[in-house]
Amino acid sequence: MSEKNKCATLVQTQYTNAFGSPELMVKSPGRINLIGEHTDYNLGFVLPAAIDKAIYIAIGKRTDQNICLHAADLDQSIEMSLDSLEPSPKQWPNYLLGIADQLKKAGYPISGFNAVVAGDVPLGAGLSSSAAVECATVFALNELFVLGMSKLEMVRMAQKAENEFVGLKCGIMDMFASMFGKADAVIQLDCRSLDYHYMPFHQKGFQIVLLDTCVKHSLASTEYNTRRAECEAGVAIIAQQHPQVKSLRDADLGMVESLLAGGDVKVYQRCKFIVAEIARLQAGCQDLVNDNIDAFGLKMFETHIGLSKEYEVSCVELDFLADFAKDQNGVIGARMMGGGFGGCTINLVKDASVDTFITGAATAFKNRFQQDLKSYIVAIGDGTSLINF
Ligand code: GLA
């Protein structure tokens, strides 16, 4: 049985055993991001795609106000009243409870429900399993209670749930990619206007290989939110001279150099990276239009250096893997991916070199860190959807 069918069967069976037949089931994928990191909350561009690994949810209404949740993979359950929602010390329920909390605050008519979740998105690997849970939940509740929300409204709500209930001031990329993903396409998303378009992404002769350090990123701990605050500090300084600058999207390198170079070195470096990354993404999109994947790959390496040296969100394991990849035959581009401090590198690797690359990386990683390296070859898939069962 495929991984996908296994997860769907698991949530359906466990739901049925605990609560009777589910009313509906939804799947929502994890995501990759080809280039454009930490640019979403700076209102720049990102280039993510949904992948063929997803979170599955089986759901049904209750006759009371309780929310009963079960995580099949973890074999943990939690019950909480809709009338007294608060974050759970177990992390996973908060991605579902946060959505219920937002729906309630927005005045949507929901009542109690049961839900069982499971998935094959590796947790803490930088593939946005949390956004996938949030999107699956909001999509499922929207269907279950016939709320009539648009996909974009659901994405915004999922982001708000993460910002307010989970406490991570993340941007919109992960939820957008999970909800709007499309097979064989990457999403060029303008995080300021939320205009987007699907860029066909034909993997002619190469694969997307993720190498998972298994270092658990602690995004919700302070560093991610600190980076955001440092960028905002830079914007505040630039805006004194250039009031039209509302985010780093509106700034250019000249402004960063003339107004930030002499000040707080961290604020300067963070802003310099973001302004360069926004421009790099735009140039990278042009490479894709020109079918020049080699030029695109070089930009991925540049992104890694910036994330590591200027934005300082990498870690030794990620740096090691990005360095390793640079010297291997058949590697078109490689970099750390996502929020950082652990998780995966994303590598574009020519078909003929994939096996050697993965084995070589695992051996080198084991020698250096005495740890096993996980790897995933991912395909680009569709976004959040109902599952027929
Ligand atoms: C995490 C956040 C996203 C984005 C990335 C970095 O995945 O959830 O909003 O900021 O980090 O690009």
Which tokens hold the place of 36?
């454009």
**Euclidean distance between the first and the last CA atom of the chain, given in angstroms as a whole number:** 15
* Whole-number Å distance between alpha carbons of 365 and 370: 7
* Whole-number Å distance between alpha carbons of 56 and 96: 12
Looking at the domain 206-378, which fold is it?
Answer: Alpha-Beta Plaits (3.30.70)
Ligand 1, atom 10, lies closest to the CA of 38
User: What CATH number was assigned to the domain covering residues 3-202+382-387?
Assistant: 3.30.230.10
291-314: b (≥16 Cβ within 10 Å) or e: eebebbbebbbbbbebbbebbbbb
What is the dihedral angle through the alpha carbons of 286, 291, 292, 296, rounded to the nearest 10 degrees? 50
Ligand 1, atom 2, lies closest to the CA of 170
Q: pLDDT tens-digit profile of 133-181?
A: 999 999 999 999 999 999 999 999 999 999 999 998 999 999 999 999 9
Average pLDDT over residues 62-78: 97
Asked if 299 contacts 280 with a C-beta cutoff of 8 angstroms, the reply is yes
Q: Which of 31, 33, 38, 281 to mutate to test the pocket of ligand 1 (most atoms within 8 A of CB)?
A: 38
Which tokens hold the place of 16?
């049925």
* Whole-number Å distance between alpha carbons of 23 and 183: 27
From residue 224, how far is each of 112, 130, 171 by CA, in Å? 33, 15, 11
Average pLDDT over residues 329-356: 97
Q: For ligand 1, say whether the CB of 162 is within 6 Å of any of its atoms.
A: no
pLDDT at res. 124: 84
pLDDT at res. 219: 55
Q: For ligand 1, say whether the CB of 134 is within 6 Å of any of its atoms.
A: no
Q: Which of 17-26, 46-55, 119-128, 250-259 shows the lowest per-residue confidence on average (mean pLDDT)? A: 119-128
Provide the residue ranges of all domains of the chain, joining segments of one domain with +.
Answer: 3-202+382-387, 206-378
Q: For ligand 1, say whether the CB of 340 is within 6 Å of any of its atoms.
A: no
Does the structure show a pLDDT above 70 at 347? Answer: yes
Q: Which of 31, 40, 224, 307 to mutate to test the pocket of ligand 1 (most atoms within 8 A of CB)?
A: 40
Q: For ligand 1, say whether the CB of 343 is within 6 Å of any of its atoms.
A: no
Instruction: List Cβ neighbours of 350 (8 Å cut-off, separation of 6 or more).
Output: 205, 206, 330, 331, 332
Q: pLDDT tens-digit profile of 279-329?
A: 999 999 999 999 999 999 999 999 999 999 999 999 999 999 999 999 999
> What are the residue ranges of helices labelled H in 57-203?
93-105, 129-144, 151-161, 173-180
Backbone angles phi, psi at 110, to 5 degrees: -110, 155
Asked if 350 contacts 297 with a C-beta cutoff of 8 angstroms, the reply is no
